[in-house]
Amino acid sequence: MQIILAELRLYQLNQKNKYKKSNESMSLAVYSIMNIDGEKDLIKISETDISTNRDGWIEINVTSVVELWKMQKISNNGFYIGAYYKSRPANILKYFFKVVKKKNHRY
């Protein structure tokens, strides 16, 4: 089986709160968590700037990482997602996602 495209899709919801400024810019970085020489390491897959003033899907191409997992039998340790407001880079929002393989899943 050949992998043509693999995407990580995140839904961004424009929520109003007292800490968010109107139309503030954020930076979103996605890393693959890899075991290298017995130690966990982060390999950057993508980094993009996004506006906080919108609702909608953010699509990140992760085909190269999924191909590594499949073809070279490299462990799937999930993704690490970090985001920060451009005006406040010290305040990093961190997320960890584990990709779960679903059996008998058809599109």
**pLDDT tens digit at each of 107 positions of the chain:** 788 999 999 888 876 665 556 677 888 889 988 877 777 888 899 999 988 788 889 999 999 888 888 887 777 788 888 888 777 766 666 555 555 444 444 44
Task: Please choose, from the candidates 55, 57, 51, 77, the residue with its C-alpha nearest in 3D space to the C-alpha of residue 66.
Answer: 77
- In this prediction, residue 62 carries a pLDDT of 92
Pairing of strands 79-85, 56-61: unpaired
* Amino acid 7: pLDDT: 92
Residue 32 class from Cβ within 10 Å (0-12 exposed, 13-18 middle, 19+ buried)?
buried
* Amino acid 52: pLDDT: 79
pTM of the model: 0.71
Structural contact between residues 14 and 55, judged by C-beta atoms closer than 8 angstroms: yes
Q: Where are the domains of the chain?
A: 24-97
